[in-house]
Copies of this chain bind each other. A is one copy, B any other.
């Protein structure tokens, strides 16, 4: 196995496969990406999605709404896209402004167009091991493991973080009785006592807490594989913005069997999973 589990070779290969699937369809897939407000990091991220969609031959339309858009206005737009048979997938860029009730909105996107995989019925199907649209970052971890021949079966996988978008969906996926499952799974978080003791039990440690460089060599055993889901904005010594993971890469590198870097790690696979969901949305609708 390679020591640095880079996303680049994986996504190059996977996007080629996906493009062939997209080309088999009678007409381009249509995805609406809804964004509220003008946050530049968010704008950069969604523009990247639009560009990637174009490369795949999908029709990705960015719908930018004013930050003051009301909840009823947003609901009307989502309902319009739900009913539009030409729309295959709807993505709502997070975080949403505070006056929007995110949990309510998650219910409104039609489950078969829910490319983010945040609708409760999709999460229920995930728990049950049934087919559906599932959260992209969680599936990105599985895709990364599969590409680099890391078999979760029987491994003790410790997930650091219990979010609704990564930690919990991923834990449920890894427990399933199936090829990319059958792991022993521990989820730990801010309330965990003796955290280092727990993380040291991991054959595979997946960090998803959003704390820059949190995991140092003290948290891992000698034969650990590390997946770093974090993408944290920090200011480097020259005052420039840079992105680091939840894992202190330099601290753990000498100790691990393999590790995903940041950037060019899990985050880069997440966008691929979004388009895989878009294709799945078309198939299951």
Q: How far is the CA of A127 from the CA of B138 in the complex (A)?
A: 14
Instruction: Kindly state whether residue A46 has any CB partner on chain B within 8 Å.
Output: no
Given the interface pairs A153-B191, A191-B182, the reply to whether A172 lies near B127 with Cβ below 8 Å is yes
Q: How far is the CA of A182 from the CA of B154 in the complex (A)?
A: 25
Interface range for A: 35 or more
Given the interface pairs A124-B124, A187-B184, A187-B185, the reply to whether A130 lies near B103 with Cβ below 8 Å is yes
Instruction: Kindly state whether residue A277 has any CB partner on chain B within 8 Å.
Output: no
Instruction: Kindly state whether residue A256 has any CB partner on chain B within 8 Å.
Output: no
Q: How far is the CA of A153 from the CA of B162 in the complex (A)?
A: 14
Closest Cβ of chain B to A206, distance in Å, is: 14
Binding stretch for chain B, among A27-35, A71-79, A114-122, A226-234 = A114-122
Instruction: Kindly state whether residue A125 has any CB partner on chain B within 8 Å.
Output: yes
Interface of chain A residues 145 through 192 with chain B (CB within 8 A) = 153-156, 162, 164, 168-169, 171-172, 175, 177, 182-189, 191-192
A118's closest neighbor in chain B, by CB? B128
Contact with A185, one of B186, B193, B201 (Cβ below 8 angstroms)? B186
Q: Contact between A175 and B153 (Cβ–Cβ < 8 Å)? A: no
Q: How far is the CA of A120 from the CA of B123 in the complex (A)?
A: 8
Instruction: Kindly state whether residue A92 has any CB partner on chain B within 8 Å.
Output: no
Interface of A: prevailing SS: mixed
Q: Contact between A162 and B175 (Cβ–Cβ < 8 Å)? A: yes
Contact with A175, one of B124, B154, B187 (Cβ below 8 angstroms)? B187
Q: Contact between A184 and B186 (Cβ–Cβ < 8 Å)? A: yes
Q: How far is the CA of A186 from the CA of B171 in the complex (A)?
A: 10
Instruction: Kindly state whether residue A257 has any CB partner on chain B within 8 Å.
Output: no
Q: Contact between A172 and B168 (Cβ–Cβ < 8 Å)? A: yes
Closest Cβ of chain B to A161, distance in Å, is: 10
Q: How far is the CA of A189 from the CA of B186 in the complex (A)?
A: 12
Closest Cβ of chain B to A10, distance in Å, is: 26
Instruction: Kindly state whether residue A50 has any CB partner on chain B within 8 Å.
Output: no
Interface of chain A residues 90 through 138 with chain B (CB within 8 A) = 103, 106, 119-130
Q: Contact between B127 and A123 (Cβ–Cβ < 8 Å)? A: yes
Q: How far is the CA of A268 from the CA of B22 in the complex (A)?
A: 54
* A162 / chain B contacts, CB cutoff of 8 Å: 175, 177
Closest 7 CB pairs of A and B: A120-B124, A124-B124, A123-B124, A186-B186, A182-B191, A184-B192, A154-B193
User: Which residues of A does B touch, CB under 8 Å?
Assistant: 103, 106, 119-130, 153-156, 162, 164, 168-169, 171-172, 175, 177, 182-189, 191-193, 198, 201
Beyond A124-B125, A171-B187, 17 additional contacts (C-beta under 8 Å) are A103-B130, A106-B128, A120-B127, A120-B130, A121-B121, A121-B124, A127-B168, A128-B164, A129-B164, A154-B193, A155-B193, A162-B175, A168-B172, A172-B172, A185-B187, A186-B186, A198-B201
